[in-house]
Amino acid sequence: MANTPSLGPAGPSLPGMTLERHILDRQRSNPEATGDFTRLFHQISLAAKIIGSRVSRAGLSGVLGTTGKINVQGEVVAKLDDFANNTLVSVVQYGGQVCVMGSEEVEEPIPIPEGFPCGKYVLQFDPLDGSGNIDINASIGTIFSIHKRVTPSGGPGTLEDLLQPGRDIVAAGYVIYGSSNMLVYSTGDGVHGFTYDPGVGEFFLSHENIRVPERGNTYSINEGNYHKWAPGVQEWVNWIKSPQDGRAAYGHRYIGAMVADLHRTLLRGGIFVYPADKKNVNGKLRLLYEASPMAFIVEAAGGAAHTGTERVLDVVPTELHQRTPLYIGSRADVEDALRIAHD
């Protein structure tokens, strides 16, 4: 029984390669590793399991619907937004690996409670991405990034630790709660996907070294905003959905949860865009816990991520909840979009 490949979805070549073992194996070859990174990842994967378990029972456990609160973004807070945020904070804050956290759902930096050790890492997250999908049982996700602190060690972390560019991320990942739950992460040298086996209670390696195709055949954008876009963005959408120069028209796919739209884009190629528009002059998506971590992952898989004016990973943030336009996905598709929409 102990050696049966069916213990995990990884197949006979990698039986039982759990997320934890994958991280541990890689950290072993790092002479500076103290075990803190592995411990932090363990906490994040535990939070993902707890959130995933609640998501899969959402209709039964009284967590559908809203809390009645409005968050710092001016958006309605779903009960699961709150649950996911509280889970991540409470699982990570006492561990001693992190000095400060940033969350979509919390206006200010989240400190480590007094009396508990402050570590060398900085964690930022969108606890529940695509919360508009919760009540209709469509895919949602969690996004996170990890930086090293820039303030002196020992004391509490500050806003300065959170306002770091994406190029300094040490690891980023997302969890998709879909037809199966998956955790995808990168430390910059490859992107690896792990599928959750609920019978075993573990994430098993199922997608090793994901590479985003150089070009895809789908585009993903909320086309209902067409009338609010700049003429260049309209021109690009008109171009991509028409047959051109011997190529077929691109198909349109839009789930409305960035994690799910980008998971498809990572595996199949294509492009996901949330541009600036008349209503959202800086775009809608948040730089620190949506665009940057996803840009880090997509670049590590060979793709590209741009704001329309610069590489997402080069943006130096000035505010915790700042927004950014986003063009992300297959390298050739992002280049086409920038050439047509921003020339």
In whole angstroms, how close is the CB of 326 to ligand AHG at the nearest point? 9
CA gap 139, 280 in Å, rounded: 24
Interface with ligand AHG, residue 130, by CB under 6 A = yes
Which residue of 45, 101, 104, 272 would you call a contact of Mn ion, by CB under 5 A? 104
* Residue among 61, 222, 234, 282 that touches ligand AHG (CB under 6 A): 222
Using the contact rule CB under 6 A, the part of the chain among 82-90, 109-117, 126-134, 296-304 near ligand AHG is: 126-134
Which residues from 249-308 bind ligand AHG, rule CB under 6 A? 256-258, 284
Minimal distance, residue 75 CB to ligand AHG, in Å: 6
Residue 333 within binding range of Mn ion, rule CB under 5 A: no
Q: Token pair for residue 149?
A: 């602190």
Q: What is the DSSP letter of 31?
A: T
102 binding ligand AHG? (CB under 6 A): no
> Among residues 142 and 187, whose Cβ is nearest to ligand AHG?
142
Min dist. Cβ of residue 328 to ligand AHG (A): 11
**Dihedral class, residue 173 (left if φ above 0, else alpha if ψ from -120 to 50, else beta):** beta
202 binds, among ligand AHG, Mn ion, none (CB under 5 to 8 A by kind): none
Q: Closest by alpha carbon to 20, among 35, 3, 7, 34?
A: 35
Q: In whole angstroms, what separates CA 91 from the centre of its chain?
A: 19
Tell the smallest beta-carbon distance from residue 81 to ligand AHG (Å): 7
Residue 280's CB is within 10 A of a number of other CB atoms, namely 15
Vertex 293 angle, CA 342 and 215, to 5°: 50
User: Which three-class secondary structure state does DSSP give residue 177?
Assistant: strand
Binders of ligand AHG among residues 73 to 92 (CB under 6 A) are 75
- C-alpha neighbours within 13 Å on the C-beta side of residue 184: 29
178 binds ligand AHG per the rule CB under 6 A: no
- Residue at shortest CB range from Mn ion: 129
3-state per-residue secondary structure call for 213-281: CCCCCEEECCHHHHHHCCHHHHHHHHHHCCCECCECCCEECCCCCHHHHHHHHHHHCCEEEECCCCCCE
Q: Which does 75 bind (CB under 5 to 8 A by kind): Mn ion, ligand AHG, none?
A: ligand AHG
Which is nearer to ligand AHG, 104 or 197 (by Cβ)?
A: 104
> What is the rounded distance in angstroms from the CA atom of residue 113 to the CA atom of residue 186?
29
Is position 126 an interface residue for Mn ion (rule: CB under 5 A)? yes
Query: What is the nearest approach in angstroms of ligand AHG to the Cβ of residue 205?
Result: 26
Q: How many CB atoms lie within 10 A of CB 155?
A: 10
Using CB under 5 A, list all residues that contact Mn ion: 104, 126, 128-129
| Residues near ligand AHG, by CB under 6 A | 75, 104, 126, 129-131, 222, 256-258, 284
